[in-house]
Amino acid sequence: MRLCPAPWQLQGEAYILNYWLSPHFLNLAQPFGLAPSFLGRLVQVMWVRYNASPIGAYDELLILDHPLFRQRRLSTIPKIFVSTESSVQHGQQLWGIPKELASFDWDIQDRQMSCKIQHADLQFAIQLEKCNTQRSFIDSHYIPAALLKIQQTWQGKSYQFNPSFRGRLIPLKHASWQSNPSLFPDFNQARFINGFYVPEFELTFPEAEISTLV
């Protein structure tokens, strides 16, 4: 398959969930690529629907794992599902992102959203509810750079890149999971801090800096 080179310009809508994970939760989640911590830390779970990208529309679910500021490492994407094989191949080869193929079954009605993920013969789901409030603006230029710098390792190489984005946020009132611990961590057992619906966003994925691991 011929790759569409970076940088990529993408547009779509997203649901962003912020969780604080305890040391116990992180220990249980190590099979999903989450590193242990004796303090715990913040992660973001993102459900994304891209309606425009260099490879067409596709859906995505990912964990963005942020380090504590005192830790000498960058943010990572340890677990991610996408809805097209083209996204799998591009994510792995251009940015070292460990994408896996899955199907996404969405049900969106007014302020209610649910989505079911099917991977192989296994599945899990989430239900979300939006607040009836005004939108606020977000731009990655106002977010600490350390939170946005991502580093991945894939097949003996290191990939480092800094996505940028902008959009508007609507708070989420509620998030609940029908979990399957064989596929994804059970975030019902984590502390939900807050969440946001982003009805429209613009995202830039730059070319990664790639180096060979010794």
Mind listing the pLDDT tens digit for each residue in 172-183?
Answer: 988 999 989 999
pTM (2 d.p.): 0.94
Between CA 211 and CA 28 the distance in angstroms is 31
Running DSSP on this structure, what letter comes out for residue 27? H
Identify the structural domains of the chain with CATH numbers, from first to last: 8-208 (2.40.400.10)
Residue 192 to residues 18, 32, 110, 112, 213, Cα–Cα distance (Å): 6, 19, 23, 18, 36
Q: What strand order describes the sheet that includes 209-212?
A: 150-154, 157-161, 209-212
27-82 per-position pLDDT tens digit: 999 999 998 888 898 999 999 999 999 999 999 999 999 876 555 578 999 999 99
